Structures are given as structure tokens and as C-alpha cells.
Amino acid sequence: MVDTVREIERKYAAADETQLPDLTGVARIASVVEHGAVDLDAVYYDTAEQLLAADGITLRRRTGGEDAGWHLKLPVAPGVRDEIRAALSDEPPGDLTALVRSRVLGRALVPVIRLRTRRTVRILQDAAGRTLAEVAVDAVRARRVFPGASAEVGWHEIEVELTGTGEGPGEGEGAGTGESAGAELLDAVERALATAGIHPAGSASKLARALAETAPEGRPAQQDGARPPGARRRKHGTKAPAAGDVVLRYVRAQMRAIIELDPAVRRDLPDAVHRMRVATRRLRSAFRSYTKVLDRDVTRPIGCELKWLAGELGKERDQEVLTERLRVGLAELPGTLQLGPVAARLRIWSQRSRLVARQELMAELDGARYLALLESLHALLEDPPLLKAAARPAPEVLAKAVLKDYRRLAGRMATALDTPAGPGRDEALHRARKAAKRTRYAAEAARPALGKPAKKFTRRTKRVQQLLGDHHDSVVARATLRELALQAHRAGEGGFTFGLLFGREEARAARHERELPARWKKASRRKLRKALRP
């Protein structure tokens, strides 16, 4: 059983156990209440390579205080982290280690740092006695956890953390408007501290400082901003970036998205599955579009695994999209046309289908195949399979790749528009949709090199893709409605409402087919294609 708390805080350096300035009267602070002192003892876990610390993630086992237990902190934004808590145990809980699996890649989590903290807390309250924030003055002692570790180091630190009414939208009453009001409070406190000579800390967390100050001699702590694997410096005097640099930057961004969205998918956060699926598709498209830059013999097997992962993510995502489409369609019908337990049948079908899809997805994310895929992506960026064209100017190489994908799309669009209405056209339009998505992603990856023409081309192609996507969703919705109608019939219920929804979807698809030629004409203008050429 785990709990999640949104942590919004700022840290400040202190030379010693500084007497804090009086914060009464700052912003909405009406009183400052002494809350006493507590002793905290925390052991931080990471891989031997400190993979979690490199991503700003902390996993600790802490005793003392009111929240003793295991705490996993995942970065959300600067100064904002989600703290996921689990009960105290001897070993890291599986619920927490699963959330860092995409980072540690099967490596063991071991104790790396022990922090002992003497914490003195003050509560900042408003005029009604509601808690706005906590100010903690920490006296910290840190030591590496292994034989022969360096001497213990120590420092003092101040933390100001929003609580209660300061946490976010809808939290508490009378505090203004959520996160905006919380940021204003933190800003006001920071100004008061600065006046007293107390300034922001140099490290983002206690762990980061402890790792830096206890690093073994000859092994400096990893610095933020270090050049990532696979990055190549541009030769002095080159006017345009090399094609390989641009493509690798895009590949790296999609890989990071997959890794960083993994915990959000496991936590079932809104839109996480969709965004992770998009990242897998973008990555696979880059491998398929830029075959002159990256060796296809190397990327093809990885692309096959990305297709598998996108399919697994798609089971849950497609279920979400389809459910919402049917729910909205039903809500648009007058009550007099909703005959029988249609809403209940739709709800039961949706819950059962989503549960199965989610269980299957979690099993795959916990499996060896997914881990092997992540390892192969890391290996690719460590030693990128660059071809000769990767060293040439990006505009020249990438524009040719985008236009090649466009010609493929144009051929599929011509076939689809010439195919008579019916299942054959539905399939042809589906194939055109996939080609439009690939072309759009290729142009999107090329934007840093091609600039505004690529941006405009991406936007126009996306509009075609969206129309084709909605048409495909209608095809899928009609098949589902037919199945639901058959289930209702077998249960002795009427199928009138399902038939009505089927007819509305059919009309919607026909409307899209009528709109498609004009939208495609806009996206395929010769002037727009010509602008892509370097």
C-alpha cells in the first residue's frame, strides 16, 4: 500500500543554526508556531552507478518523525516532486522499485548514503489558523555507506515546504488560487530570507550534496549538463548542424520520454499511456525515415520491439479513446432514444476491457522483453550506428527523407481516394493514416534543421492525420457497437440505441470522407513541399 504526496519546497543554505527572521506579516502569514525538534535517520538507495541520482530521483528508508517508512521522490518540475510513501520494511518495497525499473534496468539497489538530521520545525499559519507552510532548519550529517568510506560531512540547511492550502488547485480554502497562491507565498518568504542573508542552496537535494561532498578521491560526482551518450560536437566553422546530430537529438528525446513516462504509466496518471505510446511511435518512425543517417540493420530489430511496445500500450489507450467516444455519443442522444440499460452495458464492457488491458500492460512492463528493449536503446545511443550521410549538413539530408515519406503518403492517399466506399476504402484510408503519421513525425524531427517550412508542413500533415484518425476511430466504434448490440440481443434487450449510434458513426465517417480531398489538397501544395528543399 503506497501513498503519494505532492512536495513543493525550496531549499536554502545556512552557515549554522541560524535564527530565522520573523516571518509574521509576510504575505498571508499571521503567525509562526514552534513545532519542536525531531531526529531523522535516512539511508538512501541507488545503483552502484548512481543512476537514480543522475535523474534527480531519491529512494530512502527513513526512521524518526511522523512519516517513517520508505520514500521515493520523482521530479515533476523545478522545486516540485511527487513523494510516494510505503510502510517501513527491511528491503525496498516492490511497489516503489517497479517505479524506477526503467532507470535501474535490473541493476541492484544498494545503500549509498546515510543522512542523520536534527530537524527543528516551525509552522506558518494564516489568520484563521490554517497551515500554509512548514519551515525546517536542518543540521545534517552525511556519510557514504560502504567500508572505508570518507569522513562524515555536515552542513545546515533550511527547507520551506507548502502544506495544506499551498499544495495546489482545490486544496484547502481561502488561500487564493492553488499553485499560483503557493508560488506567491514561497516568493514572499524567499525575499524575507534574502533580506536576512539566507540564500538558495547550491544543491537540489540533501542527497546530491552528500554525494558530491563524500565522493571518493579521483571519482568526482557526475555533473549536470554533461554531454549525453551519442552526442557529437559540431566541427568549428560548420554553418549547419550535421544530420546525425539532429536525428540523434530527436531519438534521445523520445527515449527519455519513454523512460520518464514509465512511472506515470504504472501509477495510472492521466494521458501517460498515450504520451508513452506516441514516444515509441516517434522513435520507430525516426528509425524508418532516416535510413541514410542510422544503419537500418541495427535499428530494424529495435524498431520491431518498439512496434510491440506500442501495441501493448495501445490496448489500454485505444480502450480509453473508444470508451470516451461511445460515452459522449450516448450522452448526446435525448433520453427518449436511450432505450434499455445501454449506459450500464457500456460501463460494464468498458471496465472489464480496461482492467484486462491494464493487467496485460503491467505484466509486459515487468517482463524481460521490455527491459531488453530499454537496454538496446541505451546501447544504440552509447555507440550510434551512424552512416556516411550523418556527417553531411542536416537540411540537405533530412529534407530528402521527409519528401520521400511524403511521396509514400501521396501514393496511399491517391489509392484511398480512388477506392469505392466500403471496407476496402476504410482499409486504404487506415494505411494512409499511418503514412501521414510517419511523414508528420519525420518533419517534426527535422524542424531544428529546416525551421518554419518543416513546422508548417508538420501542422498541415497533422490535420490530414487527425481527419483520417477520426475516420478510423469511427470504423472501430461501429464494430464495437455491433458487438454490444449482439450482446444486448442475446440478453433479451433491445438494440435500437446501439443501432442509432452505429448510424451516427457511419454518417460521421462519410462526412470525413467528403472533407478529405480538400484537406489533402492544402497539405500537398507544391509550394509547401518546395519550401522544404534546402
Tens digit of pLDDT per residue, the chain (534 long)?
Answer: 578 999 999 999 987 766 788 999 998 999 999 988 999 999 999 999 999 999 999 999 999 988 899 999 999 988 899 999 999 999 999 999 999 999 999 999 999 999 999 999 999 999 999 999 999 999 999 999 876 566 789 999 999 999 854 333 333 333 344 567 888 999 999 999 999 989 999 888 999 999 999 887 655 554 443 334 444 444 444 467 999 999 999 999 999 999 999 999 999 999 999 999 999 999 999 999 999 999 999 999 999 999 999 999 998 888 888 989 999 999 999 988 988 899 998 999 988 888 999 999 999 999 999 999 999 999 999 999 999 999 999 999 999 999 999 999 999 999 999 999 999 999 999 999 999 999 999 999 999 999 988 999 899 999 999 999 999 999 999 999 999 999 888 988 888 999 999 999 999 999 999 999 999 988 887 766 676 766
Q: Please tell me the distance from the alpha carbon of residue 376 to that of residue 258, in angstroms, as a whole number.
A: 13
The residues pairing with 116 across neighbouring beta strands, listed in sequence order, are 41, 141
pLDDT of amino acid 174: 38
pLDDT of amino acid 178: 59
Count H helices and E strands in the chain, helices first. Answer: 15, 8
Q: Please tell me the distance from the alpha carbon of residue 43 to that of residue 228, in angstroms, as a whole number.
A: 29
Task: Give yes or no for a contact between 214 and 149, defined as CB atoms under 8 angstroms apart.
Answer: yes
pLDDT of amino acid 161: 94
- The x, y and z cell numbers of residue 390, run together, are 550523418
Q: Please tell me the distance from the alpha carbon of residue 431 to that of residue 445, in angstroms, as a whole number.
A: 22
pLDDT of amino acid 240: 75
Helix ranges restricted to H, 168-290 = 178-195, 206-213, 243-266, 272-289
Residue 121 amino acid letter: V
- The x, y and z cell numbers of residue 90, run together, are 527491511
Under DSSP, the state recorded for 38 is E
Which H or E run includes 496?
helix 496-523
Q: Please tell me the distance from the alpha carbon of residue 173 to that of residue 165, in angstroms, as a whole number.
A: 6
Three-state DSSP class for residue 533: coil
pLDDT of amino acid 290: 97
Task: Give yes or no for a contact between 261 and 247, defined as CB atoms under 8 angstroms apart.
Answer: no
- The x, y and z cell numbers of residue 317, run together, are 489507450
Q: Please tell me the distance from the alpha carbon of residue 368 to that of residue 366, in angstroms, as a whole number.
A: 7
pLDDT of amino acid 493: 87
Q: Please tell me the distance from the alpha carbon of residue 313 to that of residue 360, in angstroms, as a whole number.
A: 9
- The x, y and z cell numbers of residue 339, run together, are 432505450
- Sign of torsion over alpha carbons 173, 175, 179, 182: negative
Residue 418 amino acid letter: D
- The x, y and z cell numbers of residue 374, run together, are 530499454
pLDDT of amino acid 477: 93
- Sign of torsion over alpha carbons 310, 315, 320, 322: positive
Q: Which of 123, 141, 143, 142 is nearest to 133 (CA)?
A: 123
Cα 139 versus chain centre, distance: 35
Residue 508 amino acid letter: R
CA angle in degrees (0–180, nearest 5) for 100-102-103: 65
Task: Give yes or no for a contact between 260 and 74, defined as CB atoms under 8 angstroms apart.
Answer: no
pLDDT of amino acid 176: 41
